[in-house]
Amino acid sequence: MNKNFEQSRRDPLLTEDTFHAKTIDYFEATLNDEELISIISDQTKDKDHRKRVSWSVFGELFEKTILDYSAGKDFVEIQSILHKTLSFYEEHKNNFPEHSLKYWEPDSYQYILWLFSLNTLLGDSSFSSSLIRCVSVSGNDDKLLSILFSRLGIVGFPRGEELIFPKTYQYLFDAIKGDGAYPSKEERQKSIKKYLSAWYKSMKNCYWHDRHKGRFPTFFGYWAFEAALATVLYDLDDSSYRDMLHYPKDLVDHARNNGVDKLFHTQNIKQRWIVFPNDESPISGRWFDNLSNEVISTVKGERMPGVFENAQGYRHFWVSE
């Protein structure tokens, strides 16, 4: 292995050979396959097939974003590939608006956490509304996501009484629950440390688990980006866990050096609303439907239009601009 790569990589499990093979044989091979890409917009093809191809392209882009962080790339490059990733996701959502991430599935739940964490910590807020539209709701929803979204300025996500995956996310929930006084910062920090200690083992049901042991070069790194997000949002001292294996400390330092912690201070944060059909509009402005490409404008106090759920039983909601 090249000593420069070994010194610059952030994930010690990533080899230089895997990095180059993953980049060339998967990412570049997918993005440069014009025939494959053309399927996405080919109206003569089966829509479900087109959607699967589109999602696979998004997956390669997103994995490349994480791979570049794992390899030690600078943040200008990482921000660039993340921007391409989120731009493609926005295009995917516009082409297939009914497609969403179902947080009750382990892979989707972790994708939601990764997407919001990277989008926030790398300081790109231009895709916030699109990311909110990606999340399915059922009406009795995960309390960790509800609290996290609220802290990010996303108001109105339904809050249930339970965690969907308590064994996996209890410690993360303990780190972000409560108010400014309780739990204390010290208690939150202890919860993050416990979360990181159990993180990799608790991800065993995710498709990427144990990929570093695989026969093919599909490994892109193991990172608890959501632990970094909680650290920045709640202004935690990470000295007790910053050298733990799956904690992206460079990302935390980058976010703090670029004022993300101040941008998301509770007094500065920009609010976005989730509102359901027949509820009153809390503000005047433009709204985007989560399961279609419909855009409307309302005045404060007006009843929101629309159907309650689609044919598959997923709830419609509106996201403010």
pLDDT, one tens digit per residue, over 123-171 is: 877 788 889 999 888 766 789 999 999 999 999 988 888 899 999 999 9
Q: What is the pLDDT of residue 234?
A: 95
Taking residues 41-48, report their average pLDDT: 96
Instruction: Please give the share of the chain, as a percent, with pLDDT higher than 90.
Output: 82
Of 128, 195, 133, nearest to 168 by C-alpha is 195
Of 54, 55, 57, nearest to 41 by C-alpha is 54
CATH code of 3-270, in short, is 1.10.3920.10
User: How far is CA 147 from each of CA 144, 206, 237, rounded to the nearest angstrom?
Assistant: 5, 23, 21
Cα distance between residue 128 and residue 115, in whole Å: 10
pTM attached to this predicted model: 0.94
**Two tokens at 140?**
């009795």
> What is the residue extent of each domain of the chain?
3-270, 273-321
192-246: per-residue pLDDT in tens?
999 999 999 999 999 999 999 998 999 999 999 999 999 999 999 999 999 999 9
Q: What is the pLDDT of residue 1?
A: 59
Taking residues 262-272, report their average pLDDT: 86
- Helical pair 106-121 and 47-71, crossing angle rounded to 10 deg: 50
Residues 6 or more apart whose CB falls under 8 angstroms from that of 202 comprise 167, 168
User: How far is CA 182 from each of CA 162, 176, 179, rounded to the nearest angstrom?
Assistant: 20, 10, 5
